[in-house]
Amino acid sequence: MSDTARVTVCIPAYNAREYLPDLLFSLCAQGPYVEAVVADDASTDDTVAVARAIAAIAPIRIRVFEHEQNIGMFPNCRRAFSYAETDYVTHTGADDLFMPGYFVRCVDVMGQYGAAVMWANGWDMTRHRLTKPHFHQAALDAWKGGVRSALHWLHTHVPGIYSNCWIARRDFLDSVGGIPADEPCGDWVLAMRMMTALRDSNRPFAFTPDLMGYVFRRHNKQHSEKDIVAMLADQVDTVRRHVPEALHAVAIKAVYDKRRKMLNARGIPWPEMLKEAS
């Protein structure tokens, strides 16, 4: 670990050569306060070579781990966390970005309030343009309402980027078991587990809706029709196993509504196999 790094940004990567350089350069702009872990999941492109080339010249510490077998998104994310050595950790997609000064501000706020975890707002980016904030007004209101309100939101709404847009103390993340490797919606499950632990221990979390430091890039390589249908099945299963039974109907409706919206935006008809279920 470097002498000054406080935050490890864990980056599970697979065939990320196109977008990873922008992410790593955005982390370099954070200064030595941050270090990065790139965990490559047996990419078939030159992701590892690109990451190592940037690491060799970067002003921050970037560690690159290459693995021979592909194990999937959340197992690889969990593996990336295992390499972290700092007091604070977070994770990000290899195609996202961070604004300069973001992590210094996050840790300052967490220290000020004694928070075990912090959620921040951020931007969606499409075709290199910032388009809209991650948190729409209803989500903002839920998070501003405190732990119970935010947990209810997580139980009754399909996760957006707010299931990713967090930074946590490493000891707190470990206390809730880390990101689960065996869950297809591991980021959503982890967000629910963290918020449940905060509720049960009466611990505070920090929320900074005006700190727009996380940039989530949307592009056509993220989701195909097959991906969207598979995600719907995984999210319905996640609801049934992790959401209180009394909220199942509301949560499952939210899952179908969001996936229908995604398909409509791409001009894809609602699959016949799902019409009866919806």
CA separation for the pair 155, 242 (Å, rounded): 8
23-58 confidence digits (pLDDT tens): 999 999 999 989 999 999 999 999 999 999 999 999
Q: In this model, does residue 269 exceed pLDDT 80?
A: no
Q: Where are the domains of the chain?
A: 7-218, 225-275
137 versus 82: the higher-pLDDT residue is 82
Q: What are the φ and ψ backbone dihedral angles of 27, each rounded to 5 degrees? A: -75, -35
Q: Convert the pLDDT of each residue in 1-27 to its tens digit.
A: 455 779 999 999 999 999 999 999 999
What pLDDT, on the 0 to 100 scale, is given for residue 65? 97
Structural contact between residues 42 and 69, judged by C-beta atoms closer than 8 angstroms: yes
**3-state DSSP assignment of residue 34:** strand
Query: What strand order describes the sheet that includes 34-41?
Result: 62-67, 34-41, 7-13, 88-91, 166-169, 117-120, 206-208
Task: Write out the two tokens for 19.
Answer: 């977008």
- CA neighbor of 112 nearest in space, from 213, 212, 8, 205: 205
pTM of the model: 0.91
With a cut of 70, say whether residue 162 has pLDDT above it. Answer: no
Of the listed ranges 73-77, 215-219, 253-257, the least confidently predicted one is 215-219
Closest CA to 24 of 72, 76, 49, 60: 60
Instruction: Read off the pLDDT of residues 83-136 as tens digits, 9 standing for 90 and up.
Output: 999 999 999 999 999 999 999 999 999 999 999 999 988 888 888 888 888 888
Domain 7-218: top CATH class: alpha beta
Q: Which of 82, 76, 49 is nearest to 64 (CA)?
A: 49
Residues 6+ positions from 102 with CB-CB distance below 8 Å: 30, 120, 211, 213, 214
